[in-house]
């Protein structure tokens, strides 16, 4: 048994869980709920085991380091964060319908990872810092929350399309089974708030790390700048809500736009722009 | 005039302006990530054409984040933040320090959460018993028109979380300004065995800045993994101040040397052309010495009566390693000649003693040097921000009141409460208090 196999199992478990969660939603098959949650949990355990085993394997190869140093490893960790964050939400809100809008992100992240080179590579000197772990963990907890918030945003838009003047267009229809708009809106907001705290932490730990490695806590490198842009988008969403009472569709759209900015920060920057963070490429 | 002033004030205090600045700052920041920064003018002319390049120059796009207009946006953002904070502070402070016992009874009874009870005891006795209960709530008491009002609260200070977040941004800006006014960034290359008394700024002219001390590099080592990728850059640095060796530190990337407000970061290296460090030790007496030498030149270790010289070189072999031919001589015998690979140890047997011998190429260590007296402000601001965000998002100001009015037989108890956010958390808190009161037999409460 090696980490790649475990992570492969995790990918399949996430895929199966995604299908079941979507099935719960589309076929109103509530009975699938327990199976979906179990599969997701199983995937999460494989994912956890895979990360730990990869960590151990890196030490066996004499190049020991936390498995968070390249795009492959960060995608695996991203999926892990999404899974645990969603499981927490399901537990807290006792609602499995939101799974259809959150769990597929975990699968997609694993699927993207499987396109990357899984070789464990040694750390170049700049990455040999405990701040690497602090930085990656804080960023990805935030990203995972934003992924779920975007899922909730999509869910909100889908749900509100089924309403007309506050009434169900088709009370027997599929969309009428989704949670109420107010609840979706509330979860979206809380999730953004949670993500914002972690994104702030991610930017700060990154700045401290840069300062300990290069003596510059902020150098406007494209990845830094894009994380700041993302931060502004969410700060805007939060303020519009606190002070102007924005909610509903507008916040739903902002949750989606914010996540596009997150994805660009995380993924797009590496391929489309150049900078200090280019280790993430490949 | 007064009206005018208010309008200006209101403009700068408005959240609309904040939303606008968020948007503009975000949009403007994109430009600098798409258009490469800090290139020569020629680059922009080639890529974007002369007309656009001219416009870029006018708007300082090549150094966009330091341009007058981007900095102006940040200034606008700061003014907005300051004015908004000043504008809202009195209100927030009033909520923090408010006397909850002075609140209008009508409003207290209509709080979002409330429950009425009947007790067989007179109001004064119930009040005493409630005060004597050990709960997380600490009640204060007042007489209100013959009735008794008890009030308790948790976390009034949490309302200051928002202010901490907003101020933290200003603290970070202050740190950045201090850094840019009083600090500098530069670099210096020091040859192993050499030392530096000045550094060179990262400006157009690479202006030298003299140091009032000296930094010596005793050793530079480049470690590689088996695959050949760099594993570590290591420099042994010594600070010499007033003729004394004050401080020694082995630095690596991520672990710099600090002295007198300056920080020396390991950032790069460069091989010297055909120059080598030779370390040699007498195996019997353990006497040892390090020599720096080039090809062809001869060095002498007088105490041991040794002379040696590099006469030839072969290579490079895998990963850029050379072999060097050495001529080794002492006074007694005819010289020996042998090939030594860089980085390997050799034992040279001589009649008087055996010598452990090694040779490696010499490097310049590349140090980035920064002085940033503002960095602590930045760090304090960052800490303030995280703390403030936590308080603003997850803690709330919760208040409860107990209003006790006499009735014909006993008294009537109104429990009410409110919280500025996290209603669900407060509901639990409120229910717990309600249960505690009901369970307390000495109060003899019945729900109405
Ligand atoms: C990017 C910078 C900013 C950040 C990170 C930030 C953060 C926050 C946070 C965390 C809250 C707390 C909301 C709550 O839970 O009560 C808040 C509220 C608020 N912010 Fe900002 N803020 C920023 C910039 C600004 C600016 C420039 C203004 C200027 C007008 C502003 C005005 C406000 C107002 C009026 C509130 C509501 C305060 C209240 O509820 O009493 N913020 N902000």
Confidence band (pLDDT; 50, 70, 90) for A278? very low
B320: tokens are: 């850029």
Q: Is the CB of B170 under 6 A from ligand 1?
A: no
**Position A256 pLDDT exceeds 70:** yes
A197 vs B230, B256, B393: nearest CB: B393
Kindly tell me the sign of the dihedral angle through the C-alpha atoms of B336, B339, B342, B345. negative
CB A79 within 8 A of CB A135: no
Residues of B in contact with A213 (CB under 8 A): 253-254, 265
CA distance A55 to A49: 10
Instruction: Cite the beta strand spans of B155-287 per DSSP E.
Output: 184-191, 195-201, 208-224, 230-241, 244-252, 257-259, 262-282
B33 vs A131, A226, A236: nearest CB: A226
Q: Which of B162, B169, B391 to mutate to test the pocket of ligand 1 (most atoms within 8 A of CB)?
A: B162
CA distance B62 to A214: 22
Strand partners, B281: B288, B356
Every domain of chain B with CATH number 3.30.530 lies at 98-155+396-447
Cβ neighbours, 10 Å, residue A272: 11
Strand partners, B336: B328
Q: Is the CB of B84 under 6 A from ligand 1?
A: yes
pLDDT at A281: 37
Q: What is the ipTM of this complex?
A: 0.91
Beta strands B208-224 and B230-241 are antiparallel
> Between chains, do B22 and A193 touch, taking CB under 8 Å as contact?
no
Letter string b/e over residues A215-234, b meaning 16 or more CB atoms within 10 A of that residue's CB: bbbbebbbbbbbbbbbbbbb
- The DSSP secondary structure of A54-80, one letter per residue, reads HHHHHHHTT----S-SSHHHHHHHHHH
pLDDT lower than 70: segments of chain B: 1-5, 332-333
A179: tokens are: 């949670």
- Residue A180's contacts (CB-CB under 8 Å, 6 or more residues apart) are none
pLDDT at A46: 96
The CA-atom distances, in angstroms, between B268 and each of B53, B221, B366 are 33, 11, 4
CB B233 within 8 A of CB B266: yes
User: How many Å lie between the centroid of ligand 1 and the Cα of residue B171?
Assistant: 15
pLDDT at B132: 84
Strand partners, B399: B153, B418
The tokens 């200003």 sit on which residue? B170
- The DSSP secondary structure of B335-347, one letter per residue, reads -EEEEEETT-EEE
How far does CA A272 lie from the centroid of its chain? 21
pLDDT at B134: 77
pLDDT at A29: 77
Gap from B103 CA to chain A (nearest CA, Å): 25
B19 vs A211, A218, A240: nearest CB: A240
**This prediction's pTM:** 0.89
- The burial class, CB within 10 Å (0-12 / 13-18 / 19+), for A80 is buried
CA distance B38 to A15: 45
> Between chains, do B253 and A243 touch, taking CB under 8 Å as contact?
no
Residues present in chain B in total: 448
B342: tokens are: 């860089």
Q: Is the CB of B169 under 6 A from ligand 1?
A: yes
Q: Is the CB of B79 under 6 A from ligand 1?
A: no
Q: Please give the residue that has the higher pLDDT: either A11 or A128.
A: A11
Query: Is residue A134 less than 8 Å (CB to CB) from chain B?
Result: no
pLDDT at A91: 92
CB A43 within 8 A of CB A106: yes
Q: Best mutation site among A196, A208, A215 for testing chain B: the one with the most B CBs within 10 Å?
A: A215
Give backbone dihedrals phi and psi of A124, rounded to 5 degrees, phi first: -70, 160
Indicate which atom in ligand 1 lies nearest the CA of residue B91: 41
Strand partners, B414: B116, B403
> Between chains, do A215 and B25 touch, taking CB under 8 Å as contact?
no
The residue among B26, B50, B27, B47 whose CA lies nearest residue B35 is B47
pLDDT at B77: 96
Residues of B in contact with A205 (CB under 8 A): none
The residue among B380, B381, B371 whose CA lies nearest residue B78 is B381
pLDDT at B68: 93
Give backbone dihedrals phi and psi of B267, rounded to 5 degrees, phi first: -125, -30
Residues of A in contact with B17 (CB under 8 A): none
Task: Reduce the secondary structure of B417-429 to three states and give it as a string.
Answer: EEECCCHHHHHHH
Strand partners, B216: B195, B238
CA distance A210 to B183: 17
CA distance B277 to B192: 8
Give me the helix-helix angle, A130-161 and A181-214, nearest 10°: 160
Instruction: Cite the beta strand spans of B41-146 per DSSP E.
Output: 113-119, 140-144
* Closest residue in chain B to residue A130, using alpha carbons only: B254
The tokens 């003299």 sit on which residue? B210
Gap from A128 CA to chain B (nearest CA, Å): 7
User: How many Å lie between the centroid of ligand 1 and the Cα of residue B394?
Assistant: 15
CA distance B360 to B291: 11
- How does pLDDT run across A155-173, given as a tens digit for each residue? 999 888 877 666 777 666 6
- Residue contacts between A and B (CB atoms, under 8 Å): 106
User: How many Å lie between the centroid of ligand 1 and the Cα of residue B91?
Assistant: 15
Q: Is the CB of B418 under 6 A from ligand 1?
A: no
User: How many Å lie between the centroid of ligand 1 and the Cα of residue A140?
Assistant: 24
CB A108 within 8 A of CB A61: no
pLDDT at A218: 94
Residues of A in contact with B379 (CB under 8 A): 208
DSSP A225: H
Give me the helix-helix angle, B375-394 and A181-214, nearest 10°: 160
For B98-155+396-447, the fitting CATH number among 3.90.550, 3.30.1490, 3.30.530, 3.30.420 is 3.30.530
* Closest residue in chain B to residue A201, using alpha carbons only: B386
The tokens 């209101």 sit on which residue? B10
CA distance B20 to B11: 12
CA distance A31 to B21: 49
Q: Please give the residue that has the higher pLDDT: either B36 or A209.
A: A209
Q: Mean pLDDT for chain A? A: 89
Gap from A197 CA to chain B (nearest CA, Å): 6
- How does pLDDT run across A85-106, given as a tens digit for each residue? 999 999 988 888 889 999 999 9
pLDDT at B23: 93
Closest residue by Cα to atom 17, ligand 1, is B162
Residues of A in contact with B375 (CB under 8 A): 211, 217
CB B305 within 8 A of CB B312: no
Q: Best mutation site among A125, A134, A194, A211 for testing chain B: the one with the most B CBs within 10 Å?
A: A125
User: How many Å lie between the centroid of ligand 1 and the Cα of residue B162?
Assistant: 6
CB B39 within 8 A of CB B46: no
The tokens 């009002």 sit on which residue? B149
- pLDDT (mean) for A2-30: 91
CA distance A77 to A219: 26
CB A129 within 8 A of CB A212: yes
Q: Is the CB of A235 under 6 A from ligand 1?
A: yes
Q: Please give the residue that has the higher pLDDT: either A268 or B126.
A: B126
Largest pairwise CA distance in chain B: 124
How far does CA A151 lie from the centroid of its chain? 10
Letter string b/e over residues A6-40, b meaning 16 or more CB atoms within 10 A of that residue's CB: bbbbbbebbbbbbbbbbbbbeeeeeebbeebbebb
> Between chains, do A215 and B385 touch, taking CB under 8 Å as contact?
no
B438: tokens are: 């009901």
């Amino acid at each position: 048994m090696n980490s790649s196999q475990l992570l492969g199992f995790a990918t399949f478990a996430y895929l199966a869980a995604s299908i079941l969660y979507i099935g719960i939603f589309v076929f109103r098959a509530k009975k699938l709920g327990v199976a979906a949650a179990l599969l997701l949990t199983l995937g999460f355990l494989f994912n956890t085991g895979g990360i730990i085993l990869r960590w151990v394997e890196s030490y066996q190869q004499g190049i020991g380091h936390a498995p968070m140093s390249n795009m492959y490893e960060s995608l695996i960790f991203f999926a892990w964060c999404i899974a645990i964050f969603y499981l927490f939400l399901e537990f807290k809100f006792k609602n499995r319908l939101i799974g259809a809008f959150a769990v597929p992100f975990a699968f997609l992240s694993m699927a993207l990872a499987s396109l990357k080179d899984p070789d464990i590579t040694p750390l170049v000197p700049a990455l040999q810092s405990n701040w690497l772990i602090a930085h990656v963990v804080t960023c990805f907890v935030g990203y995972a929350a934003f992924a779920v918030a975007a899922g909730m945003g999509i869910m909100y838009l889908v749900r509100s399309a089924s309403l007309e003047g506050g009434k169900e267009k088709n009370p027997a229809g599929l969309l009428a089974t989704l949670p109420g708009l107010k609840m979706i809106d509330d979860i979206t907001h809380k999730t953004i708030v949670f993500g914002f705290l972690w994104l702030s932490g991610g930017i700060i730990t990154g700045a401290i790390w840069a300062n300990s490695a290069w003596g510059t806590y902020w150098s406007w490198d494209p990845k830094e700048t894009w994380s700041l842009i993302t931060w502004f988008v969410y700060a805007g969403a939060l303020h519009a809500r606190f002070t102007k009472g924005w909610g509903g569709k507008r916040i739903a759209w902002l949750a989606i736009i914010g996540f596009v900015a997150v994805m660009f920060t995380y993924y797009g920057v590496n391929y489309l722009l150049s900078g200090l963070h280019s280790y993430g490429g490949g | 005039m007064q009206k005018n002033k208010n309008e200006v004030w209101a403009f700068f205090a408005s959240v609309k302006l904040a939303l606008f600045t968020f948007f503009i700052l975000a949009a403007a920041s994109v430009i600098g990530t798409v258009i490469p920064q800090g290139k020569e003018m020629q680059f922009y002319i080639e890529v974007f054409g002369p007309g656009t390049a001219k416009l870029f120059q006018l708007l300082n796009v090549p150094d966009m984040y330091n341009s007058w207009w981007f900095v102006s946006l940040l200034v606008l953002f700061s003014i907005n933040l300051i004015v908004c904070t000043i504008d809202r502070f009195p209100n927030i402070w009033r909520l923090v320090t408010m006397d909850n016992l002075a609140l209008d009874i009508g409003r207290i009874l209509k709080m979002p959460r409330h429950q009425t009870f009947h007790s067989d005891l007179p109001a004064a006795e119930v009040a005493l018993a409630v005060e004597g209960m050990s709960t997380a709530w600490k009640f204060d008491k007042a007489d209100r028109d013959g009735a008794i009002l008890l009030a308790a609260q948790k976390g009034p200070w949490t309302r200051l979380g928002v202010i901490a977040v907003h101020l933290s941004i200003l603290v970070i800006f202050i740190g950045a300004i201090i850094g840019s006014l009083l600090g500098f960034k530069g670099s210096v290359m020091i040859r192993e065995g050499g030392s530096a008394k000045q550094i060179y700024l990262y400006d157009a002219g690479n202006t030298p800045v003299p140091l009032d001390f000296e930094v010596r590099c005793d050793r530079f080592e480049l470690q590689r993994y088996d695959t050949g990728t760099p594993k570590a850059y290591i420099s042994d640095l010594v600070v010499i101040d007033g003729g004394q060796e004050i401080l020694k530190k082995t630095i690596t990337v991520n672990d710099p040397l600090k002295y007198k407000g300056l920080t020396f970061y390991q950032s790069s290296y460069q091989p010297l052309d055909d120059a080598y460090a030779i370390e040699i030790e007498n195996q019997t007496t353990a006497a040892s010495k390090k020599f720096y030498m080039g090809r062809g030149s001869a060095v002498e270790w007088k105490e041991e009566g040794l002379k040696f010289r590099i006469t030839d070189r072969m290579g490079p072999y895998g990963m850029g390693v050379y072999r060097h031919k050495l001529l080794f001589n002492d006074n007694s015998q005819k010289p020996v000649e042998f090939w030594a690979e860089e980085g390997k140890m050799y034992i040279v047997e001589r009649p008087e003693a055996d010598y452990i011998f090694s040779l490696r190429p010499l490097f310049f260590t590349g140090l980035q040097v920064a002085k940033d007296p503002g960095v602590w402000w930045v760090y304090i601001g960052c800490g303030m921000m995280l703390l403030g965000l936590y308080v603003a998002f997850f803690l709330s100001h919760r208040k409860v009141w107990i209003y006790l009015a006499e009735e014909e037989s006993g008294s009537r108890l109104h429990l009410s409460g409110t919280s500025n956010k996290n209603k669900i958390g407060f509901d639990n808190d409120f229910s717990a208090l309600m249960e505690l009161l009901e369970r307390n037999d000495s109060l003899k409460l019945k729900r109405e």
